[in-house]
C-alpha cells in the first residue's frame, strides 16, 4: 500500500533539510511497507526507485558466484537507498534486501534526479550520507577480516537496534550467520557467550539486550570508529540518537532456519 502526499516522516536525510523544504520533499514521496526478505534491487541493476526508510533495516550485500551474499552495509532511517544517484550513477552497486520489516518513503529515481539538481541542501545531505555509507562498507569489510564473531555480533545487534527503532527483530540463525558472513554454529557460540556474560538473554527464539552499555563494551570498535570519523570530517554526529522505548531493549533471534 502506498499513499501520496505523506506527512513528514522521520528519516535523517529529510529531517536535515530546512523545515519548508523537508515538508515539500516528503509530500512528493509515496509511503510503502518494507517486508523482510523483499529484494529492492540487484547489483548492477538500474535503480528505478529511491527509498528513504523511516523504520526497519535494509541490508546491502555483495553477491559472488554461487556463494551466499555477504552483508557489507545497513541502511535505516539514517539514510537512503539510491544515494549513488547524486554521483550520476543509476546502477546499484550491491543487492539491497529488507533485513528488518518497516516503512519507507519512496520516490522514482527520475524525480529524485530533478530534486537533486534543484536543491543544493538535498544534494549536500545525500553526498554526506553517501560518504558515510562508503565508510561503513569499508569498515565492515575490514571488520569481517580482522575481528572475532562475538564482538561483531554485539556490534551488529547494537547497530540494527539503533537503525530499526524496533523492540523485536525476527531473524533466523542462518540469516544472521549470512549477515555476519560466518557459519550458523559460530552465531550460536557467540550468542551463548554474550548470554553467559549477562549482556543478553534468549528463550523460545527471543533475544533480549539486558545490558546496553555492556554490549557496547563487548562490541568491536568499528561502530564507534565510524561515528568518530564522521564527526572529524563533518564536525557533527551523523544524527541524534533517538530515545529507546525503555532501558531494556528486545530483539528476536529465531532458532529455526
Q: What are 87-96's pLDDT values in tens digits?
A: 999 999 999 9
Question: Comparing 64 with 148, which gets the higher pLDDT?
Answer: 148
The pLDDT, as a whole number, for residue 248 is: 41
Q: What is the per-residue pLDDT across 213-243, written as a single tens digit (0 to 9) for each?
A: 898 999 998 878 877 776 766 666 666 454 4
Could you say which DSSP state residue 236 is in? S
pLDDT band at 124 (very low <50, low <70, confident <90, very high): very high
Which SS3 state, helix, strand or coil, does residue 74 take? strand
* Cα torsion 59, 158, 231, 238: sign: positive
Is residue 123 scored above 90 in pLDDT? Answer: yes
The pLDDT, as a whole number, for residue 166 is: 63
Could you say which DSSP state residue 254 is in? B
Yes or no: say if 113 and 85 are a contact pair by the CB < 8 Å rule: yes
* DSSP codes of every residue in 196-215: HTTSEEEETTEEEES-HHHH
Alpha-carbon distance of 96 to 221, in angstroms, equals: 25
The pLDDT, as a whole number, for residue 204 is: 66
Yes or no: say if 26 and 122 are a contact pair by the CB < 8 Å rule: no
The pLDDT, as a whole number, for residue 224 is: 82
Could you say which DSSP state residue 136 is in? H
Q: What is the pTM of this model?
A: 0.84
The pLDDT, as a whole number, for residue 234 is: 60
Alpha-carbon distance of 201 to 194, in angstroms, equals: 8
pLDDT band at 66 (very low <50, low <70, confident <90, very high): confident
Mean pLDDT across 44-71? 90
Q: What is the per-residue pLDDT across 149-161, written as a single tens digit (0 to 9) for each?
A: 999 999 988 888 8
Q: How far apart are the first and last CA of the chain?
A: 29
Cα–Cα distances (Å) from 34 to 41, 100, 193, 214, in that order, read: 13, 8, 32, 31
Alpha-carbon distance of 73 to 228, in angstroms, equals: 18
Question: Comparing 34 with 175, which gets the higher pLDDT?
Answer: 34
Alpha-carbon distance of 154 to 58, in angstroms, equals: 18
Mean pLDDT across 121-126? 96
Could you say which DSSP state residue 50 is in? E
Cα–Cα distances (Å) from 37 to 54, 58, 170, 180, in that order, read: 17, 9, 11, 16
Yes or no: say if 218 and 191 are a contact pair by the CB < 8 Å rule: no
Mean pLDDT across 28-50? 95
Is residue 246 scored above 60 in pLDDT? Answer: no
Alpha-carbon distance of 23 to 9, in angstroms, equals: 9
pLDDT above 90 coverage of the chain, percent: 56
CA dihedral 16, 19, 25, 26 (to 10 degrees): 90
Amino acid at each position: 500500500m502506498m499513499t501520496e502526499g505523506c506527512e513528514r516522516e522521520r528519516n535523517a536525510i529529510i529531517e536535515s533539510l530546512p523545515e519548508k523544504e523537508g515538508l515539500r520533499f516528503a509530500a512528493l514521496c509515496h509511503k510503502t511497507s518494507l517486508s523482510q526478505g523483499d529484494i529492492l534491487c540487484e547489483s548492477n541493476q538500474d535503480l528505478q526507485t529511491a527509498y528513504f526508510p523511516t523504520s526497519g533495516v535494509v541490508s546491502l550485500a555483495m553477491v559472488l558466484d554461487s556463494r551466499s551474499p555477504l552483508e557489507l552495509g545497513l541502511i535505516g532511517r539514517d539514510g537512503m537507498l539510491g544515494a549513488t544517484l547524486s554521483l550520476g550513477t543509476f546502477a546499484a552497486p550491491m543487492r539491497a534486501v529488507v533485513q528488518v520489516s518497516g516503512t519507507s518513503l519512496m520516490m522514482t529515481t527520475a524525480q529524485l534526479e530533478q530534486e537533486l539538481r534543484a536543491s543544493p541542501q538535498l544534494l549536500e545531505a545525500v553526498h554526506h550520507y553517501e560518504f558515510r555509507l562508503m565508510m561503513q562498507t569499508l569498515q565492515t569489510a575490514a571488520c569481517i577480516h580482522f575481528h572475532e564473531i562475538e564482538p561483531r555480533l554485539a556490534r551488529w545487534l547494537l547497530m540494527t537496534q539503533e537503525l530499526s527503532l524496533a523492540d523485536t527483530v525476527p531473524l533466523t540463525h542462518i540469516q544472521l550467520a549470512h549477515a555476519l558472513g560466518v557459519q550458523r554454529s559460530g552465531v550460536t557460540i557467540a550468542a551463548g557467550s554474550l548470554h553467559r556474560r549477562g549482556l543478553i538473554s534468549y528463550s523460545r527464539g527471543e533475544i533480549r539486550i539486558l545490558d546496553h552499555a555492556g554490549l557496547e563494551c563487548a562490541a568491536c570498535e568499528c561502530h564507534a570508529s565510524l561515528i568518530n570519523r564522521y564527526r572529524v570530517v563533518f564536525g557533527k554526529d551523523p544524527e541524534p540518537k533517538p530515545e529507546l522505548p525503555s532501558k531494556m531493549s528486545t530483539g528476536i533471534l529465531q532458532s529455526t532456519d
